[in-house]
Structure 1
Amino acid sequence: MAMHATSSDASAASVDAAEIEKFSKLSEQWWDPRGKMAPLHKINPLRLSFIRDAACRKFDRNARSLNCLDGLRLLDIGCGAGLLCEPFTRLGAQVTGIDPSATNIAAANLHAEKSGLSIDYRCTTVEELDPDERFDVVLAMEVVEHVVDVGAFLDRCASMMKPGGLMVVSTLNRNFRSFALGIVAAEYVLRWLPRGTHQWEKFVTPDELAQHLERNKLGITEQAGVSYNPIADRWSISSDMGVNYMVVAEEV
């Protein structure tokens, strides 16, 4: 995981209390690459490079530079314990990470302090942010499939973008393959994730996502599937968007 409501109304629109509780219990394990978040650690470098490269193309930066995101404001919605916030901070971005779970934010702050990084972590939702705040890059990575109202959530995400900014969204497609791989295999066979992490009916098809973005005058300028090779135990960018996928959205 446009809507312009009071914070209480907005929170009710997109935040699922059961989802918050579920991930709060996992917060202590966020930074353990061999623990329950191991799949996220394995896919994280792929997400990082995809977002970094998209931002560098958009803002005419050199992706090979160690401070290629210098000066850009980045918002990571549903940041968990900061697995994306920390590397983007190291690349020079001014990062704000938000999550409605206090324990996730506590874990994020603790790890950032140990790492000597200054990151603006907030225990809040995107709906509760100051509507006058704007960001160059807005991230919603593996979040939309956990909210109550996808349309309302994406409306609010879009409203946080600066003119000329970009949004990156990753989620799971909704079809038989995503049920078989994203739930049955990942949660019950391979046990990558705790049972009940995902609800198939909350998965979002690329067409549905595009429609929500278009309503906010955003167009998808880049899209990619994310595929897993069980033999190599490696994730890679793919043209197959049948299960996991990422999109870059910009003003049209």
Structure 2
Amino acid sequence: MSLHTATATNADPAELAKFSALAHRWWDTAGEFKPLHAINPLRLDWIDGLAPLKGKQVLDVGCGGGILADSMARRGANVLGIDLAGKALKVAQLHALEAETPNIEYRDISAETLAQEQPAKYDIITCMEMLEHVPQPASIVQACAKMVKPGGWVFFSTINRNPKAWLLAVVGAEYVLNMLPRGTHDYAKFIRPSELLRDVREAGLQEQEMRGLQHNPLTGRYWHNQDTSVNYMVATRRIS
């Protein structure tokens, strides 16, 4: 499959509409995106610890309202956030203006199209909580691999596909605890680590580290460890 073909097809209109409808809530830390705000310091420190952000050219793929992109810019990176949900991007741009966030910009463009414009451009690429929302995640992985510089880092996070993940990430988070709006996730689009690592290798990236992301709903605490049975993050590098 060519990148051109992927560009035309690798977005789900229902997914884009879903996140656009919630766009005004992105920066409400007590609203629908509260979990993203809660985990952001964890994933930011993990990324910055492996690939120091200061002074680097960074791309955030599927940036939504800019929660991670904004925090990476505040760590000293030069950040471009991209997404196809236009309303969410406008929220991200407005927040950056109001918060006077330095060295950040946003574009309404697909990863595949940008990969044709800017091959080997970025030191660090992040693609967090996004792969489980597109029809062809492997195409996103390939585009990220094309855009990162040799020796650069690409970070992914997504959700495992197994009964435990369905119980916790869908039933628990959306229907029991009401942590997320119902319909946020489609279990059939969840991605096993073995599947993601296959796509990573085929794209010419090499796994460096994998971490699981855990949550205690009683205390609200989040932490990461070696348990990748539900939410997990993968750090990869382009070796050549």
Q: TM-score, normalised by structure 1?
A: 0.90
Residues 130 and 160 of structure 1: is their aligned pair in 2 closer, same or farther, counting only changes over 3 Å?
closer
Structure 1 counterpart of 2:111: 126
Confirm whether residue 157 of structure 1 aligns to residue 147 of structure 2: no
Task: Determine the structure 1 residue equivalent to 2:22.
Answer: 26
* Superposed displacement of residue 251, structure 1: 2.8
Q: Does 1:233 align with 2:220?
A: yes
- Counterpart selection for 2:95 from 99, 111, 131: 111
- Cα deviation for residue 157 of structure 1 reads 1.6
CA contact (8 A) 1:72 1:136 kept: yes
CA-to-partner distance for each residue in 1:103-150, whole Å, 9 max, x for gaps? 011000100000112411001111121524211111110011001012
1:232: how far off?
2.1
- Two-structure CA RMSD over aligned residues (Å): 1.3
Matches for 1:1-252 after TM superposition, within 5 Å: 4-6=2-4, 9-56=5-52, 69-118=53-102, 119-129=104-114, 131-133=116-118, 134-252=121-239
User: Are the counterparts in 1 of residues 148 and 238 from structure 2 also a CA contact under 8 Å?
Assistant: no
Q: Answer whether contact 2:149 2:238 (CA < 8 A) is retained.
A: no
- Contact 1:4 / 1:156 at 8 angstroms: preserved in 2? no
**For 1:131, what is the secondary structure of its paired residue?**
helix
1:2-37 CA distance string (max 9 Å, x none): x6433xx33333211110000001110000000111
What secondary structure is seen at the aligned counterpart in 2 of 1:80?
A: coil
Separation in 2 of the partners of 1:170 and 1:95?
18
CA distance in 2, matches of 1:251, 1:98: 21
User: Would the aligned equivalents of 2:145 and 2:238 in 1 still touch at CA under 8 Å?
Assistant: no
Aligned-partner SS, 1:227: strand
Deviations 1:130-187 (A, max 9, x none): 5242111111100110010121221112111111101000000000000000000011
Letter in 1 for 2:167: A
The unaligned stretches of length 5 or more in structure 2 are none
The alignment of Structure 1 onto Structure 2 pairs a total of residues equal to 236
SS in structure 2 at match of 1:36:
coil
Question: Per the alignment, do residues 175 and 130 of structure 1 end up closer, same or farther by CA in structure 2, a change over 3 Å counting?
Answer: closer
Give the letter aligned to residue 68 of structure 2: L
Q: How many Å separate the matches in 2 of 1:175 and 1:12?
A: 30
TM-score in terms of structure 2 length: 0.94
| Shift in alpha-carbon separation, 1:138–1:190, aligned structure 2, 3 A | same
What SS does structure 1 have at the residue aligned with 2:41?
helix
Corresponding residue for residue 61 of structure 1: none
Q: Identity of paired residues, percent?
A: 42
Deviating beyond 4 angstroms after TM superposition, the runs of 4 or more aligned structure 1 residues are: none
Task: Give the whole-Å Cα distance in 1 for the aligned partners of 2:138 and 2:217.
Answer: 34
Question: Can you give the 5+ residue segments of structure 1 that lack an aligned partner in the other structure?
Answer: 57-68
